[in-house]
Amino acid sequence: MLSPSAPSPAVAPNSLAVTVSAIDALLPQTQCQRCTYADCKDYATAIARGEAEINRCPPGGSATRIALAALLGRDLSAFPALAADVDAYAEEHVALIDEARCIGCAKCLPVCPTDAIIGATKRMHTVIANDCTGCELCIIACPVDCIELTPKQTFANAAHRSLEARSAQSTALRNSYTAHKIRFAARADEGLSAMLVSSAAHIEQSPADKQRDRKALLADIMAKAKSRQ
């Protein structure tokens, strides 16, 4: 038992957070979800907690596995390749939207981690190739299969064989993803606020007002139906 004057065992403050940050710094920041986690930060957290192995990052390649093994003191020979259940990653490809088939549903916008897709609801969308990492998340989200990958090297998707070479790329992608999350979180908050205001206004209506609104809605529906006959 330690005496009152004896120093306590050294425990690094926020040691898990420090480890997560160090692991995340070694990941390529494509946020492709092939590791089966929501993003690179979640994967880093799982590794730090011992819940995931270090061979689940296809875009990171061998450079990431080597760096993670060194950081965590793992035996690299135990991870000679990617985990069997992880999909391969198409290096140096970008998404291409067939604008003639695009229905403007906007489902690809919130899933793109770098905001490389521009467009609006019920309007054609297009991809900013220089910002596209080829993660394929937009392809999964598209309900009409109008997006495909095409070979093209850009700053965002260029394959690098060393962590030093991809450092600037990873930093830029991390910043883009952070901005993306902030932007869509703000949109979600705005949508919730609007819904609450609308709900409050509806609750405050008198029974007579609600009845009048229902009659007006029914009349509008009937008028539109007659105009189509």
In the CATH scheme, what architecture does the domain 15-78 have?
Answer: Orthogonal Bundle (1.10)
pLDDT digits (tens, 9 = 90+) for 121-155: 878 889 999 999 999 999 999 999 999 999 999 99
Tell me the CATH class for 93-151: alpha beta
pLDDT in tens, 52-62: 999 999 999 99
Task: Please indicate whether residue 218 or residue 36 has the higher confidence score (pLDDT).
Answer: 36
Work out the average pLDDT over 198-203.
Answer: 46
Say how far apart CA 180 and CA 18 lie, in whole Å: 24
E strands, the chain, are 93-97, 117-118, 126-127, 147-151
Q: What is the pLDDT of residue 210?
A: 54
- The answer to whether residues 174 and 114 touch, using CB atoms and an 8 Å cutoff, is no
Token pair, residue 198, equals 């609308």
Q: How confident is the model at residue 17, as a pLDDT?
A: 74
* CA separation, residue 34 to residues 18, 31, 39, 60, 170 (Å): 24, 8, 9, 11, 17
> 3-7, 153-157, 179-183: lowest mean pLDDT where?
3-7
- Block residue for tokens 């905001």: 115
pLDDT tens digit sequence for 86-132: 998 889 999 999 999 999 999 999 999 999 999 888 788 899 999 99
The domains of the chain are located at: 15-78, 93-151
pTM value?
0.74
- For residue range 152-165, list pLDDT tens digits in order: 999 999 999 899 99
Res 224: pLDDT? 56
Model pLDDT, residue 153: 96
